Structure 1
Amino acid sequence: MESSITNTSTRYGWAMIVLHWLIGIIFIGQFVLGFVMMRIESQRTAFELIQLHKSFGFLLLGLIILRIAWRSGNAPPPLPSSVGSLERRTAPLAHFALYLLQIALPLSGWALVSVSTLEIPSMPFNLFVMPNLPLAVSDAAESFWTAAHWYLAYAGIALVVLHILAALRHHFWLRDGVLARMITPSSGRE
């Protein structure tokens, strides 16, 4: 059976599956890394972890933009007929909120490093210097973007947990194949 890169009427294609899981792993990993880097005592290790966190943040931003672009030209398979009307209305809103947070979170981090009075350059994976956003440097702006980044991170994790619980509900309780179609790609003939 040949797998397809594009979605079909019943399953996701390889492109969406790879982007989904890669973004999910990086997003959860970023939360863990952010939590650890702010609590580590070694300043050198903390600095290196912060640089790694920024690198993955820029990567996440690029991947989510790619995913949204791919999805705009490659519609997801519809939900099974067993899915109720409330979930049919809320699922697109939850996905939209996830996309929005996955864009807002790295942008808020980029804004934070752009306004930081420390003025430490961002070098994604030590490959190049990422220019700062054109924002004024100040302690007040840094405090604002620090809080915004923190609140967005916790909101993002809450939405990811809700997303995971919904997927597990579909798989183990409803047994309707919603999770399976994000694991096994379409054959292109469906």
Structure 2
Amino acid sequence: MHRYTTTAIILHWLTALLIISAFIMGLVMVDIPGLTPTKLKYFSWHKWLGVTVLAIAAIRLLWRKANVPPPHPASMVAWQKKAADAMHVLLYILIFAVPVSGYFYTLAAGVPVVYLGLFQLPVIMAPNPELKPLLKDIHYVLNMTMAAAVAAHVLAALKHQFIDKDGVLKRMLP
């Protein structure tokens, strides 16, 4: 059976863990009423997770370009291979688009991103109260699209594991 490289597996699961954490943090923080110290702390953590996801996504993309992923099982029909490839492209786009949209939303709100409380990311746009609601909506829609894509990805992996029994999931397990 062809497997992903150990590096690809680590980057995959680390990305998944960080995205799930950022998603849950985002849902929790927006439900906290008012502007409390806890809410501000969660916003900072959420941003740090997003920046980390973006950095790891860049590393993942470079790794994937340098290391060809294993081929699909011969038992997979053509449409499933195309669907799997399209899903991976969509997930990569979203892994970049979600943190970038959050970054622009934060900048439009006039709030700098200070990664891990240590250094400020570049401010590449001025605060823009008119653009802020649109960027907030874009960030939300991209997040919900990511959640749906991740759910479909997980369901497909489980289908391959328990119905097709073709070893697709095992290629990405540590």
- State the superposition RMSD in angstroms: 1.2
The structural deviation recorded for 1:136 is: 3.5
Q: Which residue of 1 aligns with 2:23?
A: 31
Q: So what's the TM-score if we normalise by structure 1?
A: 0.88
Give the TM-score, by structure 2 length: 0.95
Q: Using CA pairs under 8 Å that are at least 6 residues apart, name the structure with larger relative contact order, 1 or 2.
A: 1
* 1:114 Cα offset (Å): 1.2
The 3-state SS of whatever aligns with 2:155 is helix
Contact 1:52-1:124 within 8 A present in 2 as well: no
The 3-state SS of whatever aligns with 1:11 is coil
Count of matched residue pairs: 173
CA deviation string 1:135-184 (max 9, x = no partner): 24221111111010000000000000000000000111111110001014
2:49 corresponds, among 46, 56, 66, to: 56
- Select which of 167, 174, 183 maps to 2:173: 183
Distance 2:104 2:15 in 1: 21
* Matching of residue 66 in structure 1 with residue 77 in structure 2: no
Matches within 5 A, 1:124-135: 124-132=115-123, 134-135=124-125
> Which AA in structure 2 matches 1:25?
L
For 2:24, give the aligned amino acid: V
Sequence identity (%): 34
Once the two structures are TM-superposed, the CA of residue 105 in structure 1 deviates from its matched residue by 0.4
Deviation at 1:121, TM superposition (A): 2.2
- Give the counterpart of 2:135 among 140, 145, 167: 145
Q: Which residue of 1 aligns with 2:81?
A: 88
Instruction: Look up the SS of the partner of 1:40 in the other structure.
Output: coil
Structure 1 gaps of 5+ residues are: 1-8, 185-190
Is 2:23 the partner of 1:10? no
